[in-house]
Amino acid sequence: MDFLFMGLAPLSLLVAAAIPGTVATAQPQQTATKSDSATFGSAADGGNIVFTPAQAGGPVDRPEDINFVISIGRYTVVKWGTYLLDYAYLIGMFYVFDLWFGGENWGPSAAAKIIMMNSTGITLLDILKAVLFSDVVAKAKLDHLQALWQELCGLLNEDGLEKVVSFLTRVASGEGIIHEFKDKSAHRRGVLYHIFYFVKIALVMVPLSSAFQAHIGMFHFRPLMETVATVGVGQWWEFKISCLAVVYFEYIAMSFVKDALSMNVLHQMMHRQWYHMHKVHHMPMKELSVVNLWFFDLPDLVIENIVAPVILVGLKVGLSPEAAGPVSLHWLSFIMLAITDVNIHSISPYSIGFFNPILDSILKSNISHSLHHALNIGHYTVWPWHQLKGVAAYDPHTKTNNDGSIATDMAAYNRVFNTSFPEE
């Protein structure tokens, strides 16, 4: 238990001290009016406004607003192309991490480096998806990325340098660190803000937290192909279980715990009671992609990402109190959890959620979470159980329980994002 206290104590201090607004008055959700727009709406501007799919999608008066001319074959290419990219990324990064950081190479600095490499790599992967699938993905997402690129190019001159210096001066004064940025419109759209959050979260705070957790022994990195157990010793069906299998089972266990507690309970509470802690992450609405997923305040980041591994370590300690040596998790199981969390924000609705063909065929987590950002209500969990036939989902707008399906969510996705993905 001393080990758990060592892990939880600094995290508690981080939550308490990170953002002054954590004791602000609760902000209940309110329904959007005709004057509100979900394209760059008011959900993150302090109002905690929620939208219906029709409100978020807006009027569709012109046929060209939805690209109906794309063939089914093209969508098939996009679907399998996304799968190929996601699996190739996971396999490639795991090979590199195992080669460079496994076994004797493991340590706090290795944990931090893996986080930085993974965050950078998976962000670039989503930009590649945007380029390859630009003819079918949501226009709101593409327009946002193109605007960011144009603004970034515009910084490469004397006026741009002045903007950078001015922005850095504001950050040095505490904006974005100890109090909110003052310019809400620029905060949401500006490329400097996107760079700031990527550096703050992906290159500084999460690597530092990861190094600390590795230092206290919460995570290990045994080589992936190392045998951890042998089943049926001496029998014809004898087979060995590698560390890679343990990584996947730990990942699934953490994902379940995170979904049940962090996402289904604490996440909902942050929408209904503690929105001041979560509103920065909901600045990206219809324009959501991995590029702006890094919009996080620190308490929000801790609540959604640290609870699951701490609980799983605690369970392992409780189930094996006589274990020789410290009880820990494999670092790549946490990285898999991070990749899932990133992929649910991806620009492609076909991005893989669970790296399991069975689960990924019946649960489309990216579609569900994209709707969560665009509507600012519902779809709270990473595991979209409501997509299973026979599992009812509560509709806050009609105040009824409706049987869900992937087709239902995809139809809502198409209406919200003005796309025409097959409803399968």
**For residue 38, is it within any domain?**
yes
The count of structural domains within the chain is 1
**For residue 280, is it within any domain?**
yes
**For residue 423, is it within any domain?**
no
Pick 367 or 43 by higher pLDDT: 367
Q: Which neighbouring-strand residues pair with 239?
A: 231
Mean pLDDT of 399-422: 89
What pLDDT is recorded for position 18?
Answer: 42
Please write down the long-range contacts of 152-157, taking CB distance under 8 Å and 24 or more positions apart.
Answer: 152/191, 155/191, 155/192
Torsion angles phi and psi, residue 239, rounded to 5 = -145, 155
Reported as a pLDDT band with limits 50, 70 and 90, residue 155 is very high
Highest mean pLDDT among 174-188, 277-291, 340-354: 340-354
Quickly count: other Cβ atoms within 10 Å of residue 123's Cβ: 19
> What is the span of the domain harbouring residue 32?
2-417
pTM greater than the 0.75 cutoff: yes
What DSSP assignment string belongs to 74-139? HHHHHHHHHHHHHHHHHHHHHHHHHHHHSGGG-SHHHHHHHHHHHHHHHHHHHHHHHHHTTTTS-H
The yes-or-no verdict on residue 64 having pLDDT over 60 is no
**For residue 424, is it within any domain?**
no
Mean pLDDT of 185-193: 89
Distance CA 275, CA 407 (A): 30
Distance CA 275, CA 17 (A): 17
Quickly count: other Cβ atoms within 10 Å of residue 380's Cβ: 18
Quickly count: other Cβ atoms within 10 Å of residue 36's Cβ: 17
Contact 109, 229 (CB under 8 A): no
Reported as a pLDDT band with limits 50, 70 and 90, residue 139 is very high
**For residue 422, is it within any domain?**
no
What pLDDT is recorded for position 62?
Answer: 44
List CB contacts of 224: < 8 A, sequence separation 6 or more. 94, 98, 102, 242, 243, 244, 247, 332
Instruction: Please report, as a single letter, which amino acid is at residue 208.
Output: L
Contact 393, 376 (CB under 8 A): no
Number of residues written out for the chain: 424
Reported as a pLDDT band with limits 50, 70 and 90, residue 22 is very low
**For residue 362, is it within any domain?**
yes
* Element housing 330 (H / E): strand 329-330
Distance CA 151, CA 15 (A): 34
**For residue 145, is it within any domain?**
yes
Reported as a pLDDT band with limits 50, 70 and 90, residue 39 is low
**pLDDT tens digit string along 266-325?**
999 998 888 888 989 999 999 999 999 999 988 888 888 888 888 888 888 777 666 555
What DSSP assignment string belongs to 37-84? -SSS-SIIIII-EE--HHHHH----SGGGS-TTS-HHHHHHHHHHHHH
**For residue 110, is it within any domain?**
yes
What pLDDT is recorded for position 134?
Answer: 96
Mean pLDDT of 403-418: 91
Contact 270, 26 (CB under 8 A): no
